[in-house]
Amino acid sequence: MGFTDQRFNVNLSILYTELPLLERPAAAAAAGFTAVELWWPWVDSPTPEQSELDALKSAIEDAGVQLTGLNFYAGQLPGPDRGALSIPGEESEKFRANLKPAADFAASLGCKALNALYGNRVDGVDPAEQDKLALENLQLAAREADRIGAILLIEALNAPESPKCPIVSAPKAIEIVDAVNAATGLGNAKFLMDLYHLSMNGENADGLAQIIDTYTDKTGHVQIADNPGRGAPGTGDLPLESLLDRLKKAGYEGYVGLEYKPGDKPSTEAFGWLPAGARAAR
């Protein structure tokens, strides 16, 4: 099988960032991709003006690409925040304010996957209090996702880069997935399996293979970058081609998000590892 047998999308919040936001969908299309995903693009605003939402919607539609994944508001990404839904006060309120606008935007483009990043631990706040708040907010997010026929993704980050994030392993992320599904009864919470983050948490190739074998049935989306460096496949040591083959054999049929850094060259030159004919979703 290999890379040519996968369905890839491009994360426009980490690739093509040398371009203005509204130019990125067309750039991805020009490189041969037919699907894209995004972090919440307005890091300072969970509720941007409708004109801004409409402009991005038009840019995606005009480029002829499908939006296949969108993050709910998560604070400064990239940056120190790494999430909002478990942080008491203003950040949690912003997350709740963002739920309907984000879901409505996703629905307007036929996007069926919404990612909710958990949030850092806060000094002086009981972790149990944060976890209670998180479960409440994740239930709200799951219901918003269900309203538009989408899944809710819950992702494990990595401890070296996000030392205050409590969700830094596959089992912990699955624990949250199961808790949300039990609380809502909807069954639409799924694991976002990011092979880069998991490898940064110390999982070698064998450990990643075990995670694939154990959790593919609860996985709603997969993201990749090589390690070390968070670059394109082939720039580090991860056997990404064989790992994606294993995912395919385990029954995963969804998109694989390209969430890597292009390095010191333009993003359009960061896809040499992937044949042009394999970039369009099949």
Question: Burial code of 13-52, b = ≥16 C-beta within 10 A, e = fewer?
Answer: bbbbeebebbebbbbbbebebbbbbbbbbbbeebebeeee
* 90's tokens: 């203003």
Residue 147 DSSP SS3: helix
Contact, 211 vs 242, CB < 8 A?
Answer: no
| Whole-angstrom distance, CA of residue 86 vs CA of residue 92 | 6
CA-based nearest residue to 1, from 232, 212, 196, 243: 243
| Whole-angstrom distance, CA of residue 9 vs CA of residue 36 | 5
Distances in Å between the Cα of 47 and the Cα atoms of 43, 87, 98, 116, 256 are: 10, 18, 6, 16, 28
Is-catalytic flag, 37? no
User: One of 91, 144, 155, 203 is an active-site residue; which one?
Assistant: 155
Is-catalytic flag, 259? yes
User: One of 37, 144, 203, 259 is an active-site residue; which one?
Assistant: 259
- What are the catalytic residues? 155, 259
